[in-house]
Amino acid sequence: MTTTNQVAIEAVGLVKKYGSTTALAGVDLSVPTGTVLGVLGPNGAGKTTAVRILGTLLRPDSGQATVGGYDVVREAGKVRSIIGLTGQYASVDEDMSGRRNLIMIGRLLGYSRPQARAKADELLERFELVDAGDRTAKTYSGGMRRRLDLASSLVGNPSILYLDEPTTGLDPHARNGVWETVRNLVLDGTTVLLTTQYLEEADALADSIVVFDKGSVVANGRPAELKAQAGKQSLDVRPAEPAHLERVAAIVAESTGSRPNVDVVNTLVSVPVSDGSSMPVVVRRLDEAGIAVTELSLRLPSLDEVFLALTGHTAEEKQPDAVLEGASR
């Protein structure tokens, strides 16, 4: 039997309650092998809870999940042998050096001493921790700890990797490094599930995104779909001459394929767009028409705006069709 689109992670109806708090209220997920799923959601949405269940650290109250074909409850040991997990809070051993942390994990995984050392060296190199490798992790900065934690989860060459907010608290350079690492892992065939608060991050890395809110999946789709349907990104053009408003509106309409809003009072033409690809076209056309503009901008939606749009709290008036397919389960 061959399936062309193998599923690495499959969850159906996951429920987890803490007392009266419902952390997960029936979550379904499906991640094809070799792809990246971004789990986006505000604080308390249930992202960490989902990761911990899929990482065998927590049992769901109901529902079930398979990872690499193994049940996360009944075959937890097998699941553990194919996953790597970097939790939201670094789980490094503070009283040991970074190198020893990695060697210990290698040894636990059955590497010989030299193998474990070689693997530790390789990972310290990859995460730019060589200089700090022999210091106790207690002396590491927050970002260094996160990198060590990430390195720890890669010792076993996992084929499925969970990253719970991997770049929170990292500086831009370190964040780019993590993104690079994720991309390389995916090139090697690793399946990645990452949670994030940053739409930008999900957009940069994920093949598909699910949005959690209050323990439920409120939206899912490819990044572009979500952003388009969030309907909050807009291309704004302000002509220098109010008389040019109509011509600008026509140019924008032609270039983007959508009908723009024309705000006569503020002399502003704005149109919802999914990305900035139409921007150069607009600029060229305006230039050809000899129209001067005082403002030309692409407003990115903030995560707040996206959440609000996707959870349908404020988007109704503007975009009644913003509710996504497969949403509100």
Partner 1 sequence: MNTATLEPAAHLGHRSRPFAWVQQSLTLAWRNIVRIRQNPEALADVTFQPIIFLALFLFVFGGAIAGGGGWRGYLPQLLPGLLVQTVVFATMGTGVGLNDDFAKGVFDRFRSLPIARVSPLIGAVLGDAVRYSLSIVILMTSGFVLGFRFDNGVGNGLLGMLIVLLFALSMCWIWVWLGLVMKTAQGVQGIAFLVMFPLTFGSNIFVPTSTLPGFLQAFTKVSPITYLVDTERALMGGGALQKPLLITLAWMVGLVAVFAPLAIRAYRRRT
Which residues lie near partner 1 (CB under 8 A)?
1-3, 6-8, 33, 55-57, 68-70, 77-78, 80-85, 87, 89-97, 100, 104-105, 107-111, 115, 136, 152-153, 156-160
Residue nearer to partner 1 on the CB measure, 115 or 319: 115
For the chain, the straight-line distance linking the first and the last C-alpha, in angstroms and rounded, comes to 32
Work out whether 196 is an interface residue with Mg ion (CB under 5 A): no
* Binds 44: which of ligand ATP, partner 1, Mg ion, none (CB < 5-8 Å by kind): ligand ATP
d(CA 209, CA 193): 10
Binding string, residues 10-29; x marks residues near Mg ion by CB under 5 A: --------------------
User: How far is residue 155's CA from residue 114's CA, in Å, rounded to a whole number?
Assistant: 14
Task: Select the binding partner of residue 23 from Mg ion, partner 1, ligand ATP, none (C-beta < 5 to 8 A, by kind).
Answer: ligand ATP
| Amino acid letter, 109 | L
- In 10 A of CB 27, how many CB atoms? 26
Burial class, 189, CB count within 10 angstroms (exposed 0-12 / middle 13-18 / buried 19+): exposed
Least separation in angstroms between CB 195 and ligand ATP: 7
Q: If DSSP codes are grouped into helix, strand and coil, which group holds residue 252?
A: helix
- Is 49 a residue that touches Mg ion (CB under 5 A)? no
82 is in the binding site of which of ligand ATP, partner 1, Mg ion, none (Cβ under 5 to 8 A by kind)? partner 1
The CB-of-33 to ligand ATP minimum distance in angstroms stands at: 25
Contact partners, residue 77, CB within 8 Å, separation at least 6: none
Site residues (vs ligand ATP, CB under 6 A):
18, 21, 23, 41, 43-49, 88
Instruction: Give the separation between CA 7 and CA 30, rounded to whole angstroms.
Output: 7
- Contact flag: residue 88 with Mg ion (CB under 5 A): yes
| Identity of the residue, 159 or 229, whose beta carbon is nearer to partner 1 in the bound complex | 159
Crossing angle of helices 172-187 and 142-154, in 10° steps, is 10
Binder of Mg ion out of 48, 255, 256, 311 (CB under 5 A): 48
Q: How far is the CB of 25 from partner 1 (least distance, A)?
A: 24
Is the Cβ of residue 49 or residue 101 nearer to ligand ATP in the bound state?
A: 49
Q: Residues 163, 303, 249, CA angle at the centre, nearest 5°?
A: 135
Nearest distance in Å: CB 46, ligand ATP: 4
Q: How far is the CB of 197 from Mg ion (least distance, A)?
A: 9
Closest distance of CB 31 from partner 1, Å: 12
Residue (of 191, 126, 194) closest to 159 by Cα position: 191
156 binds, among ligand ATP, partner 1, Mg ion, none (CB under 5 to 8 A by kind): partner 1
CB 46 within 8 A of CB 23: yes
Residue with structure tokens 């439920």? 216
**Closest to 50 in 3D by CA, of 91, 5, 85, 92:** 85
Binding segment for Mg ion (CB under 5 A), chosen from 44-52, 57-65, 144-152, 183-191, is: 44-52
Map residue 144 onto helix, strand or coil. helix
Q: How far is the CB of 172 from Mg ion (least distance, A)?
A: 22
Segments in 188-278 forming alpha helices (H): 199-205, 223-230, 245-256
Which residues make up the interface to Mg ion (CB under 5 A)? 47-48, 88
